[in-house]
């Protein structure tokens, strides 16, 4: 059988950083966190910065209205290169077996044999309280991150891959982490992963 593969998409503060490593340890594969942390998203560089985040967020918003002439072509090229690089990374990780948070894994690996796709969610107040507690930040700062991050992460997927990761039908499981603790979530995901992979032909 192919190594286990689980993708996780979470709304901000849903606890993927607690659930994901538990799942990876139980399945004997590597855990991969979000490509961009909450701290990185919070500190988005200024438009004149040449870093990766600047190139990503410089074309956010669904249009190139702020760009002109050659800048449009350059932004489109950066989009294309980012998509290719991320897709290659996700496929390589899947071949080795992995628990992958974000990175558009549910879309890229939608037809990957045996891969289980999971969304973690919870009411906003619960997510904000959890993020503040686990991140050692104030509830006000966590609430600000939640409003921005839930939008930005979805916008990145829509912008770069043309899909909305908040759509529940993309996933095999949607778990409410306000009623299920990390151990319970991990047990459910591990069990579902083993069931799905046992009924699926191995990847070639």
**The pLDDT value given to residue 59:** 42
State the DSSP string of 137-186: --HHHHHHHHHHHHHHHHHHHHHHHS--TT-GGG-SEEEETTTS-HHHHH
| Prediction pTM value | 0.82
**pLDDT, tens digit (0-9, with 9 covering 90-100), for 35-54:** 877 887 777 654 444 444 44
- Tokens coding 76: 């489109």
Q: How far apart are the C-alpha atoms of 24 and 6, rounded to whole Å?
A: 9
Domains and CATH numbers, the chain: 5-45+80-198 (3.40.50.300)
Q: What is the mean pLDDT of each run of 10 residues along the chain (204 residues)?
A: 93 96 98 86 56 47 43 57 88 97 95 96 97 95 92 86 92 97 98 91 53
Alpha carbon of 144 to those of 34, 128, 140, 141, 194: distances in Å? 19, 9, 6, 5, 38
């Amino acid at each position: 059988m192919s190594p286990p593969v689980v993708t996780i998409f979470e709304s901000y503060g849903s606890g993927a950083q607690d659930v994901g490593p538990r799942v990876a340890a139980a399945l004997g594969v590597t855990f991969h966190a979000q490509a961009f942390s909450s701290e990185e998203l919070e500190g988005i560089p200024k438009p004149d910065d040449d870093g990766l985040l600047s190139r990503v967020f410089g074309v956010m918003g669904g249009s190139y209205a702020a760009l002109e002439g050659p800048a449009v072509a350059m932004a489109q090229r950066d989009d294309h290169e980012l998509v290719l690089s991320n897709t290659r990374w996700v496929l390589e990780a899947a071949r080795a077996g992995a628990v992958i948070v974000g990175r558009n894994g549910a879309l890229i690996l939608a037809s990957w044999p045996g891969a289980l796709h999971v969304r973690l969610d919870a009411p906003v107040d619960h997510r904000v309280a959890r993020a503040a507690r686990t991140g050692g930040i104030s509830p006000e700062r966590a609430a600000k991150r939640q409003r921005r991050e839930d939008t930005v992460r979805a916008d990145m997927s829509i912008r770069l891959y043309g899909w909305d990761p908040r759509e529940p039908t993309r996933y095999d499981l949607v778990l409410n982490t306000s009623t299920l603790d990390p151990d319970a979530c991990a047990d459910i995901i591990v069990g579902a992963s083993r069931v799905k992979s046992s009924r699926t032909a191995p990847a070639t």
